[in-house]
Amino acid sequence: MAFHLILLLSLPLLASFPSTTESKLTPNYYQKTCPKFQEIIRQIVQDKQLAAPTTAAATLRLLFHDCLVEGCDASILVATNAFNKAERDADINLSLSGDGFDLITRAKTALELECPGIVSCADILATAARDLITIEGGPYYPVRFGRKDGLVSRADQVEGNLPRPNMPLSQIIALFASMKFSVQELVALVGAHTIGFAHCAQFSNRIFNFSKKSEFDPAYNPKFAAGLRKLCENYTRDPSMSAFNDVMTPNKFDNMYYKNLQRGMALLASDQALATDKRTKPHVDLYAANQTKFFQDFAHVMEKLSVQKVKTGRKGEVRRRCDAFNSLKTT
């Protein structure tokens, strides 16, 4: 599941009381210190998405990969230096698109000119992802502010916290359960693939030499598999070759992704499993039939994800640059 990318009966979703850390986040956190914060981000997001249509998927995946490893603290943005190999250089993160990083850099630069040292990179990422979802036609949800940027970013902390494309579904369910996400919330979150894409290398084992009996995974729609085989035939020479997770409406945030799952048109094995496993199939069928319900549940679970293990107060900092800690750590 690629967020790999790679995420609810709505009633129990946010029924629990917020943690002490979460309660420190407020919608008006920057009202006095940087009143144009959201306006600036909104404009930069619109301009970037218009220039590079893959920005929405790239930024959403960036948020997932950040929040699922040590919480939503912008640690995914930190660059490796001579003393530390950072999260973004873990093997599973090497395929993260540059458009997401570029967007956050642009937003941070503009905000540092407007209100230096005030807005955290973590708040920028959370807000940009929400705005891009709505630009692409998806649901709006409130984002509370006051996250601090993390003080740690280590590649060796990534493994085991992010789902991989060929990971068994039971393992993925267990992984998200350990982060307090239900099966229904997992299925809703994976709906983000409606605007995502996957590199051919991530599903090549399903379309080439699958078994002695079949050249491709029989779970695929045969015509879809044939199209993928043609599209990806040179992927070993060009590792950047990729396909949309939703080939029907790739630039629109809608429920078509779930309809594609029902038709055998999921690129990744972990995604296709959602449509057949008895634990997840009812939710896939619900969202395929009811886009309003999908939007409602996706909005709820994104609110929940965006406050995952947030840092506040002295547990973090407001970075001057999103790709570097304010002070260089040599140990």
Binding site per annotation, positions for heme b: 193
In three-state secondary structure terms, 200 is: helix
Within the chain, residue ranges assigned H as helices are 10-13, 20-23, 37-51, 55-67, 98-114, 121-135, 169-177, 183-190, 204-207, 222-231, 256-262, 269-274, 281-289, 291-305
Q: 3-class secondary structure for 126-194?
A: HHHHHHHHHHCCCCCCCCCECCEECCCCCHHHCCCCCCCCCCCHHHHHHHHHCCCCCHHHHHHHHHHHH
Token digits of residue 248: 């029907």
Tokens of 233: 């035939």
Burial class (CB in 10 A: 0-12, 13-18, 19+), 327: exposed
Q: Which residues pair with 243 in a beta bridge?
A: 198
- The two three-digit tokens of residue 146, written as one number: 């006051």
Q: Cα 35–36–37 angle (5° rounding)?
A: 90
Q: Which residues are annotated as a binding site for Ca(2+)?
A: 66, 69, 71, 73, 75, 87, 194, 246, 249, 254
> So which residues are the catalytic ones?
65
Q: Do the beta carbons of residue 136 and residue 56 sit within 8 Å? A: yes
CA distances in angstroms from 190 to 6, 186, 205, 237, 326, listed in the order given: 6, 6, 21, 29, 34
Which residue shows structure tokens 């598999």?
A: 225
DSSP 324: B
* Residue 138 φ then ψ, to 5°: -85, 180
Q: Which residues are annotated as a binding site?
A: 66, 69, 71, 73, 75, 87, 163, 193-194, 246, 249, 254
Q: Contact, 137 vs 253, CB < 8 A?
A: yes
- Which residue numbers belong to the known binding site for substrate? 163
